[in-house]
Structure 1
Amino acid sequence: MLNTSIFKHHAPFKLEAGGVLPEVELAYQALGQLNTDCSNVIWVCHAFTGSQDVADWWQGLVGKGKLFDPEQYFIICVNVLGSHYGSTGPLSINPVTGEPYFHTFPTITIRDIVNSFDLLREHLGISKIKTCVGGSLGGQQAVEWAISQPELIENLILIATNAQHSPWGIAFNESQRMSIEVDPTWTESHPLAGINGMKAARATALISYRNYETYGVTQARREEGLDKTYRAVTYQRYQGEKLAQRFNAFSYYVLSQVMDSQDVGRGRGGVINALSQVKAKTLVMGIKSDALFPINEQEFLAKHIPGATFQALDSLYGHDGFLIENELITKAIKIWQKFIKLDVNPMYSFFKALEDRPRTLVAHD
């Protein structure tokens, strides 16, 4: 990928589950210029099959003239451990054996990813982060970082994410892993092992990323004979093939387990106690139609992070709305930024003016 840099940590990296990576490489992109006092850092955490190329997958928010403009900010996005886009993952060479990890890649967690980020942060000389933002798996990383280092992040933006991955979400992920496991090639040590199983897994995932209404609109049935393939059928197959062109089953399997690992309360006296440690000014956004990360999970975050603001978004696109609804998200963040610049709590000040209306900022199409 253009503009990608590689950070190399040539020392053992201990993992939360007890394993060790002999060394770590992180692929990242940095846009803009870091100022002398590190007051312009925007750290974006990507989602499940995302990459460090944030200006590509979040082009509605990142770029010249956009909310996060490289001419104003130093924007950094790092490919997470276990992924496919240049960071240490299952297809990387294990320096001990001289062979790719494949099935031997150790168990990693959200905390391991955040700890690896911190190595890069120190290497780059970044002493503080103005804004850390992420959606879905990226939001899991962002909230974990804000808890593990409360003084580091000034502003925290969490979208369609949670503090602890739900049994519902874990069940979806296990169903996808089962699809990969029944692929007869999955036992092989080869970059394309399990690829057809991953196509089926992606089709399952897509159902949780969207919802009933989404399919009713975007894949609506047409007047056609039984000799024609339904639009929803071709769409599911297309999405599986599309992912197979850019990803691998090993990383998919590993990162689904990473998502399952999310539990900010582990070893911290529970989730509520952990969230109470966040000191960043926090905006939490949830999508009303999200079936995978239901909006009550974001309401929980906002309730237990001190001083947090909650904003609900109306979107047809379910969980994927965090990648699609750029105008709504931009509007929400700008409203929130206006109030924090005034050093007042928008949850109070905005709704004080609206008297007894519900304490939720609602953005509509």
Structure 2
Amino acid sequence: MNLTSPYLITDMTQEIFHCEEELPLESGESLPGFDISYTTQGHLTPQKDNVIWVLHALTGDANVHEWWSGLVGEDKFFDPTKYFIVCANLLGSCYGSTQPLSKNPKTEKPYYYDFPNLSTRDMAKAFDQLRQHLGIQKIDTIIGGSLGGQVALEWSYNLQEQVRKTIIVASNAKTSPWTIGFNEAQRMAIESDNTWGQNSPDAGKKGLEAARAIGMLSYRHQEIFHTSQAETEEKTDHFRVSSYLRYQGQKLSNRFNALSYWVLTKAMDSHDLGRGRGGTAKALSEIKSKVLSIGINTDLLFTKEESQFISKNVPNGTYREISSIYGHDAFLVENEQLNYILTSFYLENND
């Protein structure tokens, strides 16, 4: 694919970037090479100044037009007839990128539990290898939500003047003890599965179901549970919310694996933009791009105060807030509000 051509069609392409270089990790470990699955939509201008790079959340994938269909697509805010849109699967995730079930080139067997610990900084470093592979020097906008927002902030710090706008949605500059606690409870659920520890793709499958149920309690606000799961009759057992959480757990375990979930939640825990950089406030003060930080008024996992902290400490920061009963998941649901916020931000910052 000739990425410099102004005549590329806007149809999505899905590819695998294979990097044979060793990737040193913050843990002191390394990957002897890695794959990143990614999609592109649209075309680069001759000046290559219209790149939008989207980063997905914990269990997302590179198909941004599916999980953020209210924002990405023809006649949507991020329109591939105007922009060159890139979305890559996070390192450690099970949708085409190198992860615990991938073959370790040193042993010719799956990594399983030998897969190294990853940090959000490592993930940003892997994405930068892909950026260079694609011949992209500057990015107009990096946008990510939740875990994707954490990686986006790390990457924006590293890129400095190479990114014009950074949009961080329902995320933070350092993972809070509250969020780490939720993640640890989920990993404890996985550990309690008696298949955990086996070298099998299905290891921890039932534990992952329980982990997802725990996670759902942090992704949603109690008001949405009152609205959607309230009982219509008197009963003492078999409540609607119980069925709902079990369904959500089974739904995830059918499309994801516990080993990747473990690695990704650990990476989320690791997030600290200020580590080795003089603290979070100092690190934020060194970001060169224009930053839009979007909070959600009912978010229990990444609070609006954490989003406000980002906008207050970067040199060019703007804070906007989504009002919703959906809690953390509102960033995937409240498309009308997001479109309004993004339109306003772009009108003010497209100089």
TM-score, structure 1 normalization: 0.92
Q: Distance in 1 between matches of 2:212 and 2:95?
A: 18
The counterpart of 1:124, out of the listed 113, 134, 142, is 134
Take 1:126 and 1:307, find their aligned partners in 2: how far apart are those partners? 24
The answer on 1:276 being equivalent to 2:291 is: no
* Pairing partner for 1:195 from 167, 188, 205: 205
Match of 1:78 in 2: 88
Displacement of 1:146 in angstroms is: 1.2
Q: Deviations over 1:266-319 (max 9, x none)?
A: 110111110001111111110000000011000100110112110111011000
1:336 counterpart SS class: helix
Gaps of 5+ in 1: 344-365
> Residue 299 in 1 paired to residue 308 in 2?
yes
What is the alpha-carbon distance in structure 2 between the residues aligned to residue 37 and residue 128 of structure 1?
10
Partner Cα distance (1:279, 1:224) in 2: 58
Say if 2:127 is the partner of 1:95.
no
For 2:313, give the aligned amino acid: H
For 2:152, give the aligned amino acid.
A
Equivalent position amino acid for 2:217 in 1: I
State the identity %.
Answer: 48
Matching residue's letter, 1:281: K
Aligned residue pairs, count: 340
2:216 to 206, 215, 222: 206
Amino acid at match of 2:159: Q
What amino acid is the match of 1:141? V
Deviation at 1:225, TM superposition (A): 4.1
Q: Is 1:12 equivalent to 2:61 in the alignment?
A: no
Equivalent of 1:114, from 124, 127, 137?
A: 124
Tell me the distance in 1 between the aligned counterparts of 2:254 and 2:79: 30
Aligned residue in 1 for 2:273: 264
**SS at 2:213's partner residue?**
helix
Give, as a single letter, the amino acid of the residue that structure 2 aligns with 1:180.
Answer: I
Q: Supply the RMSD in Å over aligned alpha carbons.
A: 1.0
Q: Secondary structure at the match of 2:27?
A: coil
Q: Tell me which stretches of 4 or more aligned residues in structure 1 moved more than 4 Å.
A: none
Q: How does 1:1-365 map to 2 (within 5 A)?
A: 3-226=13-236, 229-341=238-350, 343=351
d(CA) in 2 for partners of 1:200, 1:317: 21
For residues 146 and 155 of structure 1, the distance between their equivalents in structure 2, rounded to whole angstroms, comes to: 9
Distance in 2, matches of 1:136 and 1:280, equals: 19
3-state DSSP class of the match of 2:286?
A: coil
Question: What SS is found at the alignment partner of 1:149?
Answer: helix
Give the whole-Å Cα distance in 1 for the aligned partners of 2:164 and 2:62.
22
Q: CA deviation at 1:245?
A: 1.3
